[in-house]
A and B are shown apart, each in its own frame.
Chain A
């Protein structure tokens, strides 16, 4: 999962970055509106956490532009503006959710899962795909009824593939989901995680399209 964090307050951003990394997310942190707009034009994110009071450009304006371009990336507005008209304006500008500071980390992560679920068009918070059972809220994966222990990166790769079954994700696309801009990428890292997942689940759970990428079959 790749998250764009747009927040001008260093302390809040550092905390959120840590929390999201602990969730296994790749986090890109941007401090102002102009750069947020540029990042949203160049990179695909799974979810955007957007502060409204930003230097150089207001968060709402960035959000409106994003929606005007037809970009449906889930956006959660994080702001100190808690009056009803502000909430309405935020949601009407295209926000999927509106979280008021100071927020609870558990609630925020639940809301992130919720907007991701809705973006994927799923209703059930727990995903059962063949023998694989994935519970995003508890960050747990069961295979044939037995819990499987995954590393954070393995979990992130499985999450990316399970979110869109049947879709082939290239190594670069998977790396995008694993690492933020400022994180170093291991050379064979993706292959290592795919190997680990096949070992822990089933060698046939993840298929390879040679030269293109990896996918999880729609119906096993």
Chain B
């Protein structure tokens, strides 16, 4: 795991060392340049000061001057004879060069200045080493304090970073205190600009989690509550079966017991379906499928219930009403819509299922001749366990919640409206744009509004 503090410390150390080296180089160069000018000037001044004394110079070699080894003085007379050498033994150039010149003697670099006078030539030479030593000393004077300061800087940086990251540790501690039961938001005030967005996003996530957890908890509570009714009926019918005074009462109790068992099974199955509807994509990959086939299968499922209630089922499917989805889920959706319609439609009524592909949507429409749903109640019917007032259909109250969950997973819109002949009309509009690769040759020529039964497949289930 990378540590911001360690990375900063390493980076800063490297930076300080690099700066020190750079400063040393720059200082060395500048000091070298400056001392060069100075020494050059000094060489020239020395030569000039000796100008008047050339004629007095001893023509013989003087003993070596031990005191000042930094400078070497040579003097030639007009005939080119060396009349003076301050440090014998040093093989100086025999050729006189006037003005400044760089020499190399015995592997060492020298700087020399030659001056022409009326009596001869004076040459002053100095090893460059002297200048370098001075420059090096100056550079060291700059670098050493910088390097000595390095540990202090590292400690200081570590401390600053530590302080800077303290809010992060505080947020971490706060988050550590959270669990499923306490998803309260993290304190955001007084957080630095860099950490506040993280905390804000965390709070948004916590809020969403809290809503999800609450919904889950409510759902479990609701489900347990809803299970009580069929279980009450079960227990009661069992007791009535035990105490039935005559065969007729016994057979009635047995029949009702069976109905109560069926109802409990239905409720449990619907609960399972709802739970699965919210995680469809995990179960099966979506494919392109004709809504007409889905509707026909769902109608076949509802056939028994419909015929027992003397309700006419009708399918008007436009060919190539293709949608993109999970077939099993879509079949559940259609079955719940049809089941609902059949349950709420009085005997002798009719339930019509239409499939039609439009420009932007492909619609599944289920209409019935039942009592319909008042506009004021329409928003609530998608709630789990919501049943219409005085509803006595024995449904689970989950049908439309399942429809809504599956539609939501397919990005489809569910709308409730009054059917033309009274009753309820539910439209599930699947987006067409979501799968542009699927071609709709027949649909392009057909206006979306024409849903005449004449051009539809007439499948009837009685």
A-side interface residues toward B, CB under 8 Å? 8-12, 14-16, 18-19, 22, 31-32, 55-56, 80-81, 101-106
Q: Is the CB of A15 within 8 A of B389?
A: no
Listed by A's residue number, 13 A-B pairs whose Cβ atoms lie within 8 Å are A8-B392, A9-B233, A10-B392, A11-B230, A11-B256, A11-B263, A15-B233, A15-B240, A22-B245, A55-B390, A102-B231, A102-B236, A103-B235
Interface residues of B, dominant DSSP: helix
Q: Beyond A11-B233, A22-B245, A105-B239, is A31–B256 a contact (Cβ under 8 Å)?
A: no
Across the A-B interface, the 5 shortest Cβ-Cβ residue pairs: A11-B233, A15-B236, A102-B232, A55-B389, A80-B228
Q: Is the CB of A15 within 8 A of B237?
A: yes
Q: Which of B233, B239, B245, B391 contacts A106 (CB 8 A)?
A: B239
Q: Beyond A11-B259, A15-B237, is A101–B232 a contact (Cβ under 8 Å)?
A: yes
Give the nearest-CB partner of B225 in chain A. A80
Could you tell me the distance between the alpha carbons of A56 and B390 in the complex, rounded to whole angstroms? 8
**B249 contacts chain A at the CB level, 8 A cutoff:** yes
For A80, the chain B residues whose CB sits under 8 A away are: 225, 228-229, 232
Q: Beyond A18-B249, A18-B253, is A31–B236 a contact (Cβ under 8 Å)?
A: no
Q: Is the CB of A12 within 8 A of B232?
A: yes
Give the nearest-CB partner of A11 in chain B. B233
**B243 contacts chain A at the CB level, 8 A cutoff:** yes
Could you tell me the distance between the alpha carbons of A22 and B228 in the complex, rounded to whole angstroms? 24
Closest-CB distance, B246 to chain A (whole angstroms): 11
For A55, the chain B residues whose CB sits under 8 A away are: 389-391
For B392, the chain A residues whose CB sits under 8 A away are: 8, 10, 31
For A10, the chain B residues whose CB sits under 8 A away are: 392, 394
Q: Which of B225-274 contact A (CB under 8 A)?
A: 225, 228-237, 239-240, 243, 245, 249, 252-253, 256, 259-260, 263
Q: Is the CB of B229 within 8 A of A9?
A: yes
For A31, the chain B residues whose CB sits under 8 A away are: 390, 392
B-side interface residues toward A, CB under 8 Å? 225, 228-237, 239-240, 243, 245, 249, 252-253, 256, 259-260, 263, 389-392, 394
Q: Is the CB of B235 within 8 A of A102?
A: yes
Q: Is the CB of A11 within 8 A of B235?
A: no
Could you tell me the distance between the alpha carbons of A18 and B251 in the complex, rounded to whole angstroms? 13
Give the nearest-CB partner of A53 in chain B. B225
For A18, the chain B residues whose CB sits under 8 A away are: 240, 249, 252-253
Q: Which of B235, B243, B260, B389 contacts A104 (CB 8 A)?
A: B235
Q: Which of A15, A81, A102, A106 contacts B256 (CB 8 A)?
A: A15
Considering residues B232, B240, B249, which has the most beta carbons from chain A within 10 angstroms of its beta carbon? B232
For A106, the chain B residues whose CB sits under 8 A away are: 239
For A101, the chain B residues whose CB sits under 8 A away are: 228-229, 231-232
Give the nearest-CB partner of A18 in chain B. B240
Q: Which of B225, B233, B249, B253 contacts A12 (CB 8 A)?
A: B233
Give the nearest-CB partner of A78 in chain B. B232
Q: Beyond A11-B263, A22-B245, is A16–B236 a contact (Cβ under 8 Å)?
A: yes
Give the nearest-CB partner of B228 in chain A. A80
For B391, the chain A residues whose CB sits under 8 A away are: 8, 55
For A8, the chain B residues whose CB sits under 8 A away are: 390-392
Considering residues B225, B228, B391, which has the most beta carbons from chain A within 10 angstroms of its beta carbon? B228
For B230, the chain A residues whose CB sits under 8 A away are: 11
Give the nearest-CB partner of A51 in chain B. B229
Closest-CB distance, B240 to chain A (whole angstroms): 6
Considering residues B259, B390, B394, which has the most beta carbons from chain A within 10 angstroms of its beta carbon? B390
Give the nearest-CB partner of B249 in chain A. A18
Could you tell me the distance between the alpha carbons of A31 and B260 in the complex, rounded to whole angstroms? 18
Give the nearest-CB partner of B259 in chain A. A11
Closest-CB distance, B376 to chain A (whole angstroms): 13
